[in-house]
Structure 1
């Protein structure tokens, strides 16, 4: 690793890591139909079906692989933003609820919108742009005072106060064992619930992509004399950075996030082409466009409050046992399931 750093430099290595991890994630996510919105909709309807099995396979794989590496000392995520910096419980709760509502209205979370965009889905592209612009406005624009005020209602210090388990906690191997048992159960039960084995394998690759992001960035940071952020897959922040760089800068700086977004896009595009599903898809005439746009706004603001999207907080943050990430993803489930039930009660199946 030191030789690679001396030859190419840390930014270039992080860019390549982002491209590779993103391409694997995009291809596997598209192939497996990995989608948190679909999983929450299934459960809201009282079904334990294929979509839920696929999400659980991805999530438990990410947790088991990351925490196993932490337990044996091969990975140290204590300096990751989701653990080391000050967090917000109020942001995780309110932002998670907003994000959950938004992803039902928009029929996809941030990662799913990016993956679908690669297949030619214009609804996903436009909704994703609205999400990204709202996120930027929430980070440093006219919505930032509201975000800061809500986030400041209930804060938690970084470090051990923000972690579910310390790396040396005797409860850590117990948690790993429980998650491993859950993963095995999903792989056994999943096909009986309609989840093809190939899709379950694809979902596991999604989880391993999250692990690869943590492990790869840690390897670079551990071998570097420069300050390198240990990070993994997330979409709201990198998407805003990519968009603002394209709009305001003549050149694109090398970083993990700058490689991640195009990597996911092209990985998903390859999957869509090989599966024969690459085609232009427009807004349907009987589904209001404003529903998607309002969903994008809620997700953009909610993700900045919650500290990440369904993947950034839910998968990457959840995999390193960040307490605020687990609260955020739980609230995403609550917000999404409640919204799905309410829309279903309105009697129009097109709304859900």
Structure 2
């Protein structure tokens, strides 16, 4: 069953790459362009996933547990993670799937993300991590307060449904496209531009099936990136097979799936960053690893998965990661403030493409 992690990861990486699903860009576009299309798509993933997760829990198919809220770690870590993903040019999944496209800057960020996560969870910074996460509040989830899980699930579904409806009512932007070279399924898979909401629906399905497949191997959790990334580094350094689990195969699969999608669509190419971007990738990667460890998860594990479980950790970290992206955007992205950051500027291509 552990190999299902690899298969889910391949599907996840493929959809992320072809759908251009970039959480960093979704958050950043709200601050830069006042555009909420991708943020709505992100919320759609949470809403659909919430329906699936609530159903699975109520049917007794999956069994989840939560710990008291490490409020200081979630706030500080979430803010740091948000700033760091702007520096790195992408969040956890964004760094993995852009690595599969040949973006060397993402390779660098990914290595240092793994270093930061491993140091906080297993290495020299364990004490720091435990200290920051020792400040806790005795709350876990909204349903744990005695509220039926269906109440927040239905409320979220209705709110997000209204947001999606409003987005779909807006006039579609006309974008010049090249004449298609492929036909049929090949065109749809490797050439056609995917609508953000279609991509969100596909990711939702992947997120939901993750729970029972992962639980079958003893891992009681949904999609997660930070701990598996740190575990992968620990395995590479120590050679201990105990670090290889369903989650590790998931993140490896993201890289494989993204490469397959990028190669088949003609979007794979090696892109070497300049010196300034290397510095940003290193700083951003380390900040991602540290911030996600303090917060207990990244934009996927916390802001997309824990939120679907209606945990306080998920929604608070979502807020502070979003604020962190706003802060990072204001400081580091040229054009928003009209000045150059001390570390240099993000290229206009990076901002325009919404590099994740």
Of 217, 230, 235, the match for 2:220 = 230
The count of corresponding residues between Structure 1 and Structure 2 is 321
Of 273, 276, 280, the match for 1:283 = 273
Q: Is the 8 A contact 2:302 2:314 kept in 1?
A: yes
Greater alpha carbon shift after TM alignment, 33-42 vs 298-307: 33-42
Deviation at 1:148, TM superposition (A): 1.7
- TM-superposition CA deviations, 1:13-43 (whole Å, max 9, x none): 1x12211221221111112211221111111
CA shift in 2, pair 1:200/1:78, >3 Å: same
Q: Is the 8 A contact 1:49 1:194 kept in 2?
A: no
In structure 1, how many angstroms separate the alpha carbons of the residues matched to 2:324 and 2:146?
Answer: 34
In structure 1, how many angstroms separate the alpha carbons of the residues matched to 2:206 and 2:286?
Answer: 28
Q: 1:73 maps to what in 2?
A: 59
Q: 2:311 maps to what in 1?
A: 322
- TM-superposition CA deviations, 1:315-342 (whole Å, max 9, x none): 1212112211211121100111122123
Q: 1:4 maps to what in 2?
A: none
Q: Is the 8 A contact 1:236 1:308 kept in 2?
A: yes
In structure 2, how many angstroms separate the alpha carbons of the residues matched to 1:199 and 1:21?
Answer: 20
Structure 1 gaps of 5+ residues are 1-12, 222-227
Summarize the alignment of residues 142-221 of structure 1 with structure 2, pairs less than 5 Å apart. 142-152=124-134, 154-157=135-138, 161-166=139-144, 169-170=147-148, 172-191=149-168, 192=170, 198-218=195-215, 220=216
In angstroms, what is the RMSD of aligned CA positions? 2.4
In structure 2, how many angstroms separate the alpha carbons of the residues matched to 1:193 and 1:249?
Answer: 55
Structure 2 gaps of 5+ residues are 174-192, 352-356
Following superposition, which runs of at least 4 residues in structure 1 exceed 4 angstroms of deviation? 193-197, 250-254
Q: 2:346 maps to what in 1?
A: 350
Q: Is the 8 A contact 2:117 2:292 kept in 1?
A: yes
1:115 counterpart = 2:92: no
Q: Is the 8 A contact 1:28 1:203 kept in 2?
A: no
In structure 2, how many angstroms separate the alpha carbons of the residues matched to 1:307 and 1:327?
Answer: 11
In structure 2, how many angstroms separate the alpha carbons of the residues matched to 1:186 and 1:177?
Answer: 14
Deviation at 1:69, TM superposition (A): 3.1
Q: Is the 8 A contact 2:19 2:194 kept in 1?
A: no
Q: Is the 8 A contact 2:5 2:250 kept in 1?
A: yes
User: Secondary structure at the residue paired with 2:109?
Assistant: helix
In structure 2, how many angstroms separate the alpha carbons of the residues matched to 1:248 and 1:269?
Answer: 27
